[in-house]
């Protein structure tokens, strides 16, 4: 699933990219530009702007209106409203920095990723281990709705 975020929302961009979703973050675009982009690129819009959300819904653009800054709550809401799968797949994950699909390889039995977009390399460290913990919470929150 492809997403368009109209405002910086914590680590949401990073999260959606890690989970393999093509996610762009648009700053300083007019509502009309943003609407055109979401329609032509078939992106789900994630916003805090109630007026914009109402406009988009009228046009049939899938929109998630956020009311919380909590990452777990936010991901759970996106999951339940769009039906998107919120699972981490090492073979389908994107660069948190530039949104390029990462190339996976193994080195000494460890997962490694390289981004051909910005040249960054990634490996499983402390913050990667938190991913599964957060996703567990997201699933628990979503199923409790």
Residue placing its CB nearer to Zn ion in the complex, 86 or 95: 95
Nearest to 44 by CA among 67, 66, 60, 61: 61
Under the binding rule (CB under 5 A), the answer on residue 24 touching Zn ion is no
Q: Which stretch binds Zn ion (CB under 5 A): 48-56, 83-91, 118-126, 137-145?
A: 118-126
CB of 64 to Zn ion, least distance (A): 25
In the region spanning residues 46 to 105, those forming contacts with Zn ion, defined by CB under 5 A, are 95, 97-98, 100
What is the contact surface with Zn ion in residues (CB under 5 A)?
Answer: 95, 97-98, 100, 115, 117-118
């Amino acid at each position: 699933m492809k997403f368009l975020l109209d405002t910086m929302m914590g680590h949401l961009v990073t999260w959606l990219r890690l989970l393999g979703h093509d996610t762009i973050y648009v700053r300083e675009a007019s509502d009309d530009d943003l609407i055109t982009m979401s329609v032509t690129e078939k992106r789900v819009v994630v916003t805090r702007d109630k007026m914009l959300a109402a406009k988009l819904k009228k046009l049939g653009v899938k929109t998630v209106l956020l009311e919380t800054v909590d990452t777990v709550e936010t991901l759970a809401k996106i999951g339940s409203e769009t039906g998107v799968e919120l699972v981490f797949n090492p073979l389908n994950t994107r660069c948190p920095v530039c949104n390029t699909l990462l190339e996976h390889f193994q080195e000494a039995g460890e997962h490694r990723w390289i981004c051909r977009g910005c040249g960054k390399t990634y490996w499983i460290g402390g913050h990667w281990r938190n991913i599964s913990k957060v996703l567990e919470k997201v699933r628990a929150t979503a199923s409790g709705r």
